[in-house]
């Protein structure tokens, strides 16, 4: 969850919500809480690889599970390419594509050797990123005394903020929260999943919310909302404006490492969803093989890696954040709908939680930029068509 999103999401969210950025952050946190609660309860009942793809199939029917898996796989594959390009932009500007391809190939190879090595690298990455974010928070909140709180001293934006703008800001900030579903997608590789997965999701969400709130406060103190909205590297600009410009290269390094960590987690999560869909024959069955020694889905991981590399070679997907957010919000909408079917004996959450989560997921998805919404609807329509064709019974020849 604490990855490249925190280094990039605040600028577009500020462009949408302006001085109401903190309200958008609170809205994104509420949605994340509802989604996390529903996902945790479902993961405890269904500790299988695949996340909401499995929950949708078990609780709502094959079509809803398929749509969840389709949205997650397509959207997150695009996010993998975007994260790889983001990493390359920071470490090798001018050579983005070859460096991005090399990063995907290296991390795919790492995943093929088992999740334990990947998890160990992820711990190192998140530790470094947290140290960088701590430096940004300290600089932004306690930096140059001449800095005034941007929330109270800002230049007016061209148009007043509307509720739609705040909702759009929440949808864009939700991109930075997305990630706890990857815990659930690894259900078969976790010890005592009924206890471990809900605790892991809750702790991860709580820590992330505290970090993001402090980062938002630091950004609003060091930058006015309008400059924050225009910034291409908001956290680097925070330390510069706070009088700690020497930290800017460190922040840039943190952004590159965060993108690498996000890419690592995405490759893991997408491959496990591909595995689950292949087991149900919603994707080619050859992808359902699991290595008998390391217990990892090597074919699914290799297929995802190849798909991301192909995308890197033919398209620039750094503008796909909105499309990815659309797919993830629909994915979590199905998770909340699935949680509504849980009984009390299965540890069902309070009914208001999945209801609120479902409503907010659909609302935030609808308020994303129009191009992202239209692209998302087109992709889901294509997925539905493929599903109907594959499920249609063959006619017997006379």
Neighbours of 380 (CB within 10 A): 18
pLDDT digits (tens, 9 = 90+) for 321-375: 778 888 889 999 999 999 999 988 888 888 999 999 999 999 999 998 888 888 8
pLDDT digits (tens, 9 = 90+) for 87-106: 877 777 778 889 989 999 99
CA atoms within 13 A on the CB side of 173: 33
How far apart (Å, rounded) are the C-alpha atoms in residues 187 and 58?
15
Query: Can you give the pLDDT at residue 116?
Result: 55
Query: Can you give the pLDDT at residue 96?
Result: 80
More confidently predicted of 232 and 66 = 66
pTM reported for the whole predicted model: 0.80
How far apart (Å, rounded) are the C-alpha atoms in residues 280 and 303?
17
148 pLDDT band, cuts 50/70/90, is very low
**Which tokens go with 152?**
């109270």
Question: Could you tell me the residue ranges of all domains in the chain?
Answer: 5-390
Beta bridge partners of 186: 49
| 5-390, CATH topology level | Amino acid/polyamine transporter I (1.20.1740)
């Amino acid at each position: 969850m604490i990855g490249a999103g925190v280094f990039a999401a605040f600028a577009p969210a500020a462009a949408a919500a302006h001085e109401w950025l903190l309200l958008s952050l609170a809205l994104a946190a509420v949605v994340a809480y509802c989604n996390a609660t529903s996902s945790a309860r479902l993961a405890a009942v269904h500790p299988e690889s695949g996340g909401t793809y499995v929950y949708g199939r078990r609780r709502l029917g094959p079509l809803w599970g398929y749509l969840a898996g389709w949205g997650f796989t397509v959207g997150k594959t695009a996010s993998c390419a975007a994260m790889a390009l983001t990493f390359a932009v920071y470490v090798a500007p001018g050579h983005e594509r070859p460096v991005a391809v090399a990063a995907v190939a290296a991390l795919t190879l790492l995943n093929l050797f088992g999740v334990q090595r990947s998890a160990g690298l992820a711990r190192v990455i998140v530790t470094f990123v947290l140290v960088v974010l701590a430096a940004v928070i300290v600089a932004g909140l306690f930096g140059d005394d001449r800095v005034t709180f941007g929330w109270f001293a800002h230049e007016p934006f061209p148009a007043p903020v509307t509720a739609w703008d705040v909702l759009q800001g929440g949808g864009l900030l939700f991109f930075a929260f997305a990630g706890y579903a990857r815990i659930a997608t690894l259900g078969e590789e976790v010890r005592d999943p009924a206890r471990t997965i809900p605790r892991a999701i809750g702790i991860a969400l709580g820590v992330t919310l505290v970090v993001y709130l402090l980062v938002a406060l630091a950004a609003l103190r060091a930058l006015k909302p309008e400059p924050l909205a225009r910034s291409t590297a908001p956290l680097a600009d925070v330390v510069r404006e706070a009088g700690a410009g020497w930290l800017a290269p460190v922040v840039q390094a943190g952004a590159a490492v965060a993108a690498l960590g996000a890419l690592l987690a995405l490759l893991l999560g997408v491959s496990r969803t591909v595995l689950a869909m292949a087991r149900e024959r919603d994707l080619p069955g050859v992808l359902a093989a699991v290595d008998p020694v390391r217990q990892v889905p090597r074919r699914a991981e290799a297929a995802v890696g190849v798909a991301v590399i192909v995308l890197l070679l033919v398209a620039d997907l750094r503008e796909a954040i909105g499309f990815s957010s659309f797919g993830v919000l629909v994915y979590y909408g199905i998770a909340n709908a699935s949680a509504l079917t849980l009984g009390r004996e299965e540890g069902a959450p309070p009914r208001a939680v999945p209801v609120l989560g479902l409503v907010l997921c659909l609302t935030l998805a609808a308020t994303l930029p129009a191009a992202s919404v239209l692209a998302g609807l087109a992709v889901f329509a294509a997925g539905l068509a493929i599903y109907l064709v594959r499920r249609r019974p063959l006619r017997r020849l006379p």
